[in-house]
């Protein structure tokens, strides 16, 4: 050892002579960084430094460590200003961790690595949540999951994001702990990392108004409102994409989302440009790419006669009620419902196209796709679109489909299969029968005849009981506002692709409109067949006794009179109406026909106590009114007859009769009516002119007196 004299050991940094207890010999490997800091290439055995100089150097090392921890977003700080020597001890590379000494009133969990942070169950197969997921959950719920927090696989989506029920569970935990003081300790690195993540999310949300790329961008409800399908269904649609390439402006998911949002909302490309923060020309190119891709890879799998067999339609997509009514009991035919729908377009400058696309029925330009559905609402195919002039009525379109054998429809349908159509297909009935196909259509009212016979009305009710499904399908398609709005003429070449794509989405991701129940449908079909063979006995009584002519014999019922009318439950009303549509209209009819005393204008005849008469105003024509008669005895409804077109039927009742039955037998006892809003008070009536005397005439008359 060298001598103890302080003059022999000056500090190599400041030059002072430290005392014996303040000297540090810098020869060993522990002071390698310090020697590099001083620039000493050669170090003697007697070279020393004082404690003050070495403490300043050590503090500067710690300062550099903390600065780099903020930049690198890491809890562990290592010295990067100096490269360690090739042979260094463990003390040279020892990491320095910032202590958790900053308390914040934030609820946190996830310390245990053996239990799920959500359900608290212990499981050996837990998955660790990434920092991005943990910070996103904190933004959504205010509940911070600590580093290393783990959860069960059942709580995660395929992209490793938490499911909605798991997020709601954390939200409830956060709300329940607000009254409890919860404190979490942070270090500088944790706080800076959390702030950076929140700032990045805010910038991303500001740039991309609608973010379909990240799993945390939109909720499942947002997906349903914007695209018409859920988030999981949207992911499935994206999985069908094969040739779309991502660009710097939009991803594949954004490309598909642009098309679906446009179809669902009907927004213009300019509005979509604002919502997605993409140039208008980029929106147009993205929609075109998505339309071409889905038309090739997605649509043919879920719509068209080629995507499903006839046997599958009979087995999986045919309502038992339809088979009981029109299956003839010998074999199970394929039963399809056919109807045309409308897509409105702009008025064209091409006069020839303008004439051919103008509909005299709707009084506006449009094109007509032909929709073919099963009795459960499954869309088998969409054909067309066609022109809208007189040469392209529903019957002509259906004939064209068979004559050109579109999508091999003639090979798909077989002998004795059934097509249910409306009255617009009357000119194609003989053509279908020549092909061996049965056509079921509501009865036509002959010229000069004001009312259908009981047989005609009953047979028509059997058809409408099944045919309503195609109207509901058309309404489901129009939920995508692009088909409900006026389509620009530049988009006419792509209307078929858009309608088929929406039909494919409905088939794939929407539930059937009505599947029916084999037991209840069999009972209902037997009941309807039996009633269809009956005659309207009350109609015969009214005509034989001339009750419709004996006007003076009927007197209005006073408010003090008691009417022995049976009490009807909702189930009994449904049995009488054989459907819900008439009961929906009954409430509106009742609201119109109640008088100031809150009662119907019901007429009775003392000579016929078991029959009452009611006058009903037509909801379509102001100058037309109908009389109806209802027969009741022994607490039951035994007959009904109305003067409207379908009022003689026995299979169910018309809406006029349903309104009286619903009011007298149900509503006045339960007071369950929901009043219909009358907006007349907010509008002016030009036919009402108050009688006000002119001021000049009044002054003149006073002078003459």
Q: Report the alpha-carbon distance of residue 602 to residue 480 in Å, rounded.
A: 45
Least trusted range by pLDDT, from 16-30, 68-82, 281-295, 646-660: 68-82
Tell me if 112 is assigned to some domain.
yes
Whether the bond between 187 and the residue before it is cis, its omega within 30 degrees of 0, is: no
Q: Cα dist. 358→189, 427, 581 in Å?
A: 69, 21, 32
Shared-domain flag, residues 347 and 451: yes
Domain residues for the domain of 257 are: 220-297
Shared-domain flag, residues 285 and 268: yes
Q: Cα dist. 441→176, 330, 401, 450, 532 in Å?
A: 62, 21, 19, 19, 15
pLDDT of residue 609: 85
Shared-domain flag, residues 203 and 224: no
Tell me if 692 is assigned to some domain.
no
pLDDT of residue 70: 47
Tell me if 698 is assigned to some domain.
no
Tell me if 303 is assigned to some domain.
no
Band of pLDDT at residue 125, cut at 50, 70 and 90? confident
Query: Which own/partner pairs from 576-580 qualify as long-range (CB within 8 Å, at least 24 positions apart)?
Result: 576/637, 576/652, 576/653, 576/658, 576/661, 577/652, 577/653, 577/658, 577/661, 578/461, 578/465, 578/524, 578/527, 578/528, 578/651, 578/652, 579/465, 579/652
The answer to whether 261 and 227 have CB atoms below 8 angstroms apart is yes
Q: At what angle do helices 518-532 and 454-477 cross, to 10 degrees?
A: 140
CA torsion 657→662→665→668, rounded to 10°? Answer: -130
Tell me if 399 is assigned to some domain.
yes
Q: List all residues 6 or more positions away from 531 whose beta carbon is below 8 Å from its beta carbon.
A: 458, 650, 651
Among 318, 351, 347, residue whose Cα is nearest residue 335 = 318
pLDDT digits 0-9 by tens, 186-203: 887 888 888 887 777 666
pLDDT of residue 401: 96
Shared-domain flag, residues 370 and 491: yes
Tell me if 458 is assigned to some domain.
yes
Band of pLDDT at residue 494, cut at 50, 70 and 90? very high
Shared-domain flag, residues 483 and 421: yes
Shared-domain flag, residues 547 and 616: yes
pLDDT digits 0-9 by tens, 381-428: 999 999 999 999 999 999 999 999 999 999 999 999 999 999 999 999
Across 230-252, b (16+ Cβ under 10 Å) vs e yields ebebbbebbeebeebeeeeebbb
Q: Which CATH number goes with the domain that contains 437? A: 3.30.420.10
Residue 561 has pLDDT above 80, yes or no: no
pLDDT digits 0-9 by tens, 303-358: 999 999 999 999 999 999 999 999 876 678 999 999 999 999 999 999 999 999 99
pLDDT digits 0-9 by tens, 110-119: 877 888 888 8
- What's the structural domain count of the chain? 5
Shared-domain flag, residues 421 and 487: yes
């Amino acid at each position: 050892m060298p001598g103890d004299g302080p003059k022999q050991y000056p500090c190599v940094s400041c030059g002072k002579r430290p005392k014996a207890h303040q000297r540090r010999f810098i020869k060993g490997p522990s002071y390698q960084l310090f020697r590099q800091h001083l620039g000493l290439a050669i170090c003697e055995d007697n070279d020393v430094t004082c404690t003050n100089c070495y403490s300043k150097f050590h503090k500067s090392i710690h300062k550099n460590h903390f600065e780099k921890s903020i930049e690198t977003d890491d809890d562990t700080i290592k010295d990067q200003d100096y490269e360690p020597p090739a042979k260094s001890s463990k003390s040279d590379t020892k990491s320095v961790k910032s202590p958790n000494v900053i308390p914040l009133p934030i609820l946190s969990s996830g310390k245990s690595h053996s239990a799920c942070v959500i359900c608290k169950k212990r499981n050996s197969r837990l998955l660790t949540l990434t920092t991005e997921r943990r910070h996103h959950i904190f933004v959504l719920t205010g509940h911070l999951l600590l580093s290393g927090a783990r959860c069960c696989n059942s709580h995660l989506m395929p992209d490793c994001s938490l499911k909605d029920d798991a997020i709601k569970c954390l939200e409830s935990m956060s709300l329940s702990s607000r009254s409890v003081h919860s404190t979490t300790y942070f270090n500088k690195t944790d706080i800076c990392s959390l702030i950076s993540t929140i700032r990045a999310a805010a910038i991303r949300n500001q740039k991309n108004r609608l973010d379909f790329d990240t799993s945390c961008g939109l909720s499942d409800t947002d997906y349903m409102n914007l695209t018409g399908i859920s988030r999981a269904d949207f992911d499935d649609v994206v999985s069908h994409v094969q040739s779309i390439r991502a660009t710097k402006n939009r991803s594949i998911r954004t490309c598909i989302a642009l098309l679906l949002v446009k179809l669902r909302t009907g927004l213009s490309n300019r509005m979509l440009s604002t919502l997605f923060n993409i140039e208008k020309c980029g929106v147009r190119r993205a929609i075109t790419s998505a339309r071409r891709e889905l038309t090739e890879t997605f649509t043919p799998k879920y719509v068209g006669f080629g995507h499903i067999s006839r046997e599958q339609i009979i087995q999986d997509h045919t309502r038992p009620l339809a088979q009981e009514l029109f299956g003839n009991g010998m074999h199970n035919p394929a039963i399809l419902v056919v109807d045309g729908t409308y897509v409105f377009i702009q008025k064209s400058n091409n006069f020839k196209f303008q004439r051919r696309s103008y509909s005299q029925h709707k009084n506006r330009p449009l094109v007509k796709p032909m929709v073919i559905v099963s009795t459960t609402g499954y869309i088998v195919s969409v054909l067309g679109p066609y022109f809208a002039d007189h040469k392209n009525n529903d019957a002509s379109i259906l004939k064209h489909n068979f004559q050109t054998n579109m999508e091999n429809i003639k090979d798909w349908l077989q002998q004795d299969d059934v097509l249910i159509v409306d009255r617009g297909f009357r000119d194609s009935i003989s053509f279908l029968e020549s092909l061996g196909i049965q056509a079921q259509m509501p009865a036509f009212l002959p010229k000069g005849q004001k009312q259908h016979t009981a047989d005609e009305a009953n047979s028509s009710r059997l058809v409408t009981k099944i045919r309503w499904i195609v109207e509901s399908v058309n309404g489901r398609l129009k939920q995508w506002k692009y088909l409900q709005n006026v389509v620009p003429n530049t988009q006419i070449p792509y209307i078929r692709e858009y309608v088929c794509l929406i039909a494919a989405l409905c088939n794939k991701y929407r539930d059937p409109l009505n599947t029916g129940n084999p037991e209840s449908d069999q009972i209902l079909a037997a009941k309807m067949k039996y009633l269809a063979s009956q005659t309207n006995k009350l109609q015969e009584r009214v005509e034989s006794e001339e009750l419709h002519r004996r006007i003076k014999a009927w007197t209005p019922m006073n408010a003090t009179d008691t009417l022995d009318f049976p009490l009807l439950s909702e189930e009994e009303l449904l049995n009488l109406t054989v459907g819900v549509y008439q009961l929906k209209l009954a409430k509106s009819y009742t609201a119109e026909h109640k008088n100031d005393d809150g009662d119907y204008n019901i007429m009775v005849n003392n000579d016929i106590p078991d029959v009452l008469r009611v006058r009903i105003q037509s909801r379509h024509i102001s100058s037309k009114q109908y009389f109806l008669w209802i027969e009741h005895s022994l607490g039951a409804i035994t007959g009904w007859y109305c003067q409207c077109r379908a009022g003689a039927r026995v299979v169910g009742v018309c809406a006029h009769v349903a309104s009286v039955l619903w009011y007298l037998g149900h509503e006045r006892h339960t007071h369950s009516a929901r009043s219909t809003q009358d907006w007349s008070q907010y509008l002016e009536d030009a036919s009402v002119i108050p009688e006000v005397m002119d001021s000049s005439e009044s002054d003149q008359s006073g002078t003459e007196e």
